[in-house]
Structure 1
Amino acid sequence: MKLGFLTVCLAEVDLSDVARWAADRGFDALEVGGWPATDHRDHIRVDRFDQAECERVREIFDETGLTLSSIAYYENNLHPSDRERVNDHVRKCVDAAVALECPTVGTFVGRDPGLSVAANMKLAEAVFEPLVEYAGGRGVTIVIENCLMKSWHPDGYPGNLAYSPELWEWMFTLGLKLNYDPSHLVGLGIDPVTAIVPYISEIAHVQAKDTQILPGKIERYGFYGPVTGEKGWYRFRVPGLGEVDWARLIDTLYEGGYDGVVSVEHEDPVWSGNTARVQAGLGIAHRTLRELVMG
């Protein structure tokens, strides 16, 4: 395995500086943001990807010796009005991944909140068949993170149909693979280690994020969380500051044959606010995972 992180937590820093810092601190890989230029998470300029951009990114990874593990574009591929644009940008990410010899592109299934789950599943089958064919024909795997994306639904229900093992099994029939993030299972009452044992062969990428349960909050809101704008009963942390048993999780991945990248996704509100604090948070994650993730 290799240890990396998702670059969007340092969106204000140029990719070359992010990569040099990562290599100097002992990381092995980067999962790089590939959102459109109108979004600040465009460390790879996918929507203006030409030979110069390809050479710029290749040079950064050649100089630092890092691995480009995935191009990240996590948006709603089933959006009721923006679906075509999102799907088109996924294709652009695939094209960039081919040029950069990057094995995966990460995104969300998403959801149309005006439709039932069953109707969304049928819609997803129609949407992802051509996307998977497009990527697969070019040697790229589309991976889906199992994030709930409750903010995409007006009532706070899951807005990304990839949040449970039941839905993973359906996803795999579409030719999609899993970008596994254990943090999201903690808030569902699912053991993040036991849950993956049957599915390790379908995991093409791993994101490392932790979840901290906040004392006394679930007694107020219940399992489904608040119906107002208040914060819920858990929050995301960098690995080592939450409930996930990382030693057990990494060991289970090794035992199941996973040998890819474990990429820290930094969404920790404590270790955020400026570049130095984010880097400190990434340092905590590195100290937690480095002795477990050995190449």
Structure 2
Amino acid sequence: MNAHVRRCVDAAAALGCPTVGTFVGRDPGLSVRDNLERAEGVFRPLVAYARDHGVDLVIENCLMKSWHPDGYPGNLAYSPELWEWMFTLGLRLNYDPSHLVALGIDPVAAAMPYVSQIAHVQAKDVELLPGTINRFGYYGPISGEKGWYRFRVPGLGQIQWGEVVGALRRGGYDGAVSVEHEDPEWTGSTERVQSGLGIAYRTLRHLVRG
């Protein structure tokens, strides 16, 4: 896996791409503290390698619950508390506000102190499903049932994109805002995917510089 990350860095440098994205992950048999100590030894040389090639390693704040046998967060970069840890290693943030909303975190308040550490932004929305939080809680179901939220294209969920993009711009972010299409209502055919992307484009086009 570490060799693969290095090859991605090599490719990014050759193509003039400034970032390579990955995850922190975790060993579910270890405590969070022990995982973070182990991760430091893994990521410090990778960060150094990337910087030697003019590339930043970025970590998405996705829970990756499917990586944990009990459905708990499998990627130790899901909250601002953990962002602060990874910034000390030279890792930067691939910011996806949808995952914060799904944890009950205000995505604007969470991002504002750390905008200078955001190197990429993923535009994905989230729709909260009424009443289901009272059954599952923030961690979601363990039974395989549908959870208390689902991902949507920007404009069809709870996120106020004007507030999110405005906060990023005020903080000095001027990089990419990439639509991450995971909306189950707009899949199944090329035409439906393109229609979903069109909704995202119309939602974001007046907010993002061309």
What interval of TM-score do these two structures reach, taking the shorter chain for normalisation?
over 0.9
| Structure 2 match to 1:232 | 147
The amino acid of 1:191's aligned partner reads: D
| Structure 2 match to 1:169 | 84
Q: Residues 133-180 of structure 1, C-alpha deviation per residue, up to 9 Å, x if partnerless?
A: 110111000001000001100111100010000000000001000010
Superposition map of 1:276-295 within 5 A: 276-295=191-210
Superposition map of 1:154-193 within 5 A: 154-193=69-108
| Structure 2 match to 1:152 | 67
CA RMSD, 1 decimal? 0.8
How far did residue 196 of structure 1 move? 0.7
| Structure 2 match to 1:258 | 173
The 3-state SS of whatever aligns with 2:86 is helix
The amino acid of 1:256's aligned partner reads: G
How far did residue 222 of structure 1 move? 2.3
Structure 1 unaligned regions, length at least 5: 1-85
TM-score of the aligned structures, taking structure 2 as reference length: 0.98
How far did residue 220 of structure 1 move? 1.9
Distance in 2, Cα, partners of 1:264 & 1:247: 15
Structure 2 unaligned regions, length at least 5: none
The amino acid of 1:96's aligned partner reads: A
Aligned: 1:103 with 2:18: yes
How far did residue 114 of structure 1 move? 1.5
The amino acid of 2:44's aligned partner reads: E
The amino acid of 1:93's aligned partner reads: C
The amino acid of 2:181's aligned partner reads: H
Distance in 2, Cα, partners of 1:158 & 1:220: 19
Distance in 2, Cα, partners of 1:127 & 1:271: 38
The amino acid of 2:53's aligned partner reads: R
The amino acid of 2:26's aligned partner reads: R
Q: Which runs of structure 1 show a deviation greater than 4 angstroms over 4 or more consecutive aligned residues?
A: none
Superposition map of 1:67-216 within 5 A: 86-216=1-131
Distance in 2, Cα, partners of 1:223 & 1:197: 23
The amino acid of 1:204's aligned partner reads: A
The amino acid of 2:29's aligned partner reads: G
The amino acid of 1:205's aligned partner reads: H
Q: Percent identity at matched positions?
A: 74
Superposition map of 1:240-255 within 5 A: 240-255=155-170
The amino acid of 2:32's aligned partner reads: V
The amino acid of 1:292's aligned partner reads: L
The amino acid of 1:103's aligned partner reads: P
The amino acid of 1:115's aligned partner reads: L
The 3-state SS of whatever aligns with 1:270 is helix
Distance in 2, Cα, partners of 1:285 & 1:248: 16
Distance in 1, Cα, partners of 2:60 & 2:138: 22
Distance in 2, Cα, partners of 1:185 & 1:123: 25
Higher relative contact order (CA 8 A, sep 6+): 1
The 3-state SS of whatever aligns with 1:193 is helix
